Copies of this chain bind each other. A is one copy, B any other.
Amino acid sequence: MSNKPADEINENGTGFIKNVAIDTVIFGFHDNLLRVLLSAYKNTNYFALPGGFIREKENLHDAARRVASERTGLDDIYLEQFYVFGDYSRYDPQPFKVIMEANGNRPSESHWLLQRFISIGYYALVDFTRATPTPAAIFDSCNWYDLNNMPELIQDHSKIITKALEVLRANLDHKVVGYNLLPESFTMGELQKLYETILSKKLLRPAFQRKMLSLCILERVAKKYSGGAHKAPYLYRFVTGE
């Protein structure tokens, strides 16, 4: 939970469901690295996952989509609910107290943001080249960090990312992941690099190519002349069924 617009910061959180937060793990892929969007709070050393809250009459999914959209500038985002984090031990209001104080607020102990939150985790898969990381108004910046080189995160946000990656990996087999993380067209090599990065292991090139083509979800578009001294790879794109 983070990135709240200014008007959300009032003592009792009018208009929002209390004690429930949404944390989104927004994955992007670039330069052969899997990255996530993190918010950095101004005037503090705190980093956190993009998060938000559910409006009183808002669908849970829509709230997650709203958060992911506001941070990326995209409006057609692939989202997957992956886990709920509900241990009482994750209750840690200290960071928010510091953040608010660093920004000139003096919240009372009963401020709604200082209460316990049950956090519903969503992961998003976005096309790195189309997303424009956008910090929430006033409060923070927002940037990509690769998974192997992340700053320390508040609360249990590191664990949330770990769990998101775990579920993403488990879903690799039966859900099409590349469609959301890659640009419109891409080479088979790029697709393989994506899979290898998510799984953290090498895959055999011939096997991967055949497996992907056997799914009948890819079509060849054209060849890509990269200027490299080697055979030009085909470009592929996902067939959308239209």
Residues of chain A whose beta carbon lies under 8 Å from any beta carbon of chain B: 17-20, 54, 56-61, 63, 81, 83-89, 116, 118, 120
Contact of A84 among B19, B56, B60 (CB under 8 A): B60
**Minimum C-beta distance from A123 to chain B (A):** 14
Contact of A116 among B56, B61, B85, B89 (CB under 8 A): B56
CA A61 – CA B89 in complex, angstroms? Answer: 12
Whether A83 contacts B81 in the complex (CB less than 8 A), given A17-B116, A88-B57, A118-B20, comes out as: yes
**Minimum C-beta distance from A29 to chain B (A):** 26
CA A18 – CA B85 in complex, angstroms? Answer: 16
CA A20 – CA B85 in complex, angstroms? Answer: 13
Extra pairs beyond A18-B19, A60-B84, A86-B120 (9, CB < 8 Å): A17-B19, A17-B116, A19-B20, A20-B118, A56-B116, A57-B88, A59-B87, A60-B118, A61-B87
Contact of A18 among B18, B61, B84, B88 (CB under 8 A): B18
Asked whether, in the complex, the Cβ of A118 is within 8 Å of the Cβ of B17, the reply is yes
**Minimum C-beta distance from A146 to chain B (A):** 29
CA A147 – CA B86 in complex, angstroms? Answer: 30
Whether A84 contacts B86 in the complex (CB less than 8 A), given A20-B20, A54-B118, comes out as: no
CA A60 – CA B58 in complex, angstroms? Answer: 23
Chain B residues, Cβ within 8 Å of A61:
86-87
